Chains A and B, each alone.
Chain A
């Protein structure tokens, strides 16, 4: 497929005045049709899936591939080298085989058992925040350490190394960083995890990396794949939740009546519903779920031909009025459970029970313990992550 002058460029820019909303040009595409065409950075043209139902149908369709090395795949950025960044870009059966090796620790009931530990991490960090300088950067002091401490504990990564992997992780998911530099950052963390896995082989612990060592020893996983899985879980485990905490806090501060509702209630159902609504409303993985068709697929009056690329911006699907009434309103009481913020289909987020629990603990604790929490700057001065694989804020100056 080739570019034409009339095909809009994807991704589109957000409106700086509406930092929580998808790009206005994306909204226009949604109004036009469920499937439109967009052009990406390398000049290729792909299908843009604008509506909720069609996004779900295509992401759950076994005739689409997530393999970034297939011809026609709508790459988000150039690939450096030939290393696969984990099972999120592989297809079944290999994807299922690798994914199932790490699903057990993320089972809902096992994650629920972590609630007291996550509550303690949250409370301790709030104690430190309150004892420290005021104003403070909520990202550095709270939003990033909570999920970082939790995922380190789950994986068996020493938190004392957090500066190293947080720095590399930041580089890795920033699309404005040159691809070679991003690949080097991934390689740094991979090397680190390879060494750590070797240590675990000598002295296993009760953690996920030690479990992967067991798989390597059983001949089910190569040491390289084990490091790749570890890398995926480490990066995904803190970048996403950290952004939901900081951006969610900003969204609540901008919607004081919703914040008051959350702060004034100790009903776990309202807290859970608030988490789902904030996941829907913010949809921080705003880079589009990308696939390539393996066969011709007829959908919504169009035919996606085998080999054509498909981009599903889930932040747009989550604002589809056909699926959510008044979709641009933040309403913590609505039933938003069917959102696609974690994606859809076989690649849907593996860590979602953990993300939900972390957010339930944080959202039900932070604003109650610091009821005077406020933004220490103006919204237009907040640095948003427009160049990130994951949307959010680089800093959030707050005071109390």
Chain B
């Protein structure tokens, strides 16, 4: 699975960083989410799922690897 972050939708709440700080970070200039690792390791999937659940802007989702 591949993580997708829609930076236009992001409202910089920081929820994803709090849920999975090894996977997500925030841009210095405006706090918008950036992806550190698009392909999460299996043991990171739980945290990534939580980040998806708590993102208030619904700006994060998972896609199958085959989707471009």
Contact = CB atoms under 8 A, between A and B. Distances in A.
Do A and B pair up? The answer is yes
Interface residues of B, number: 22
Interface string B35-68: 0000000000000001001101110000000000
Interface string A92-136: 000010011101101111010000000000000000000000000
B66 to A, nearest CB: 28
A56 to B, nearest CB: 9
A104 B27 CA distance: 8
A344 B26 contact: no
A317 interface: no
B67 to A, nearest CB: 23
Contacts of A100: 12, 30-32
B23 interface: no
B58 A60 contact: yes
A104 B31 contact: yes
A347 B54 CA distance: 14
A353 B11 CA distance: 13
Contacts of B14: 106-108, 111, 352-353
Given A345-B56, A346-B56, A346-B57, A107 B50 contact: no
Given A109-B17, A346-B11, A103 B30 contact: yes
A66 to B, nearest CB: 13
A171 B19 CA distance: 36
A343 interface: yes
Residue in B14, B28, B53 whose Cβ sees the most chain A Cβ within 10 Å = B14
Nearest to B56: A348
B18 interface: yes
- Using C-beta atoms within 8 Å of the partner chain, give the interface range for chain A: 20 to 34
Nearest to A111: B14
Interface in B2-36: 11-15, 17-19, 21, 25-26, 28-32
A100 B11 CA distance: 8
A347 B11 CA distance: 8
Contacts of B58: 60
B56 to A, nearest CB: 4
B30 A348 contact: no
A390 interface: no
A109 B26 contact: yes
A103 B56 CA distance: 15
Nearest to A344: B56
A353 B18 CA distance: 8
Interface string A321-342: 0000000000000000110001
A352 B30 CA distance: 15
Interface of B: 11-15, 17-19, 21, 25-26, 28-32, 50, 53-54, 56-58
23 contacts: A100-B31, A100-B32, A103-B11, A104-B28, A104-B30, A106-B14, A106-B31, A107-B12, A107-B17, A108-B17, A108-B26, A109-B25, A337-B19, A337-B50, A342-B13, A343-B56, A346-B57, A348-B57, A349-B13, A350-B13, A352-B14, A353-B14, A356-B18
Given A103-B31, A345-B57, A350-B13, 19 more contacts: A60-B57, A60-B58, A96-B11, A99-B11, A104-B28, A107-B31, A108-B21, A108-B26, A109-B17, A109-B25, A111-B14, A338-B50, A342-B13, A345-B56, A346-B56, A348-B11, A348-B57, A350-B12, A352-B13
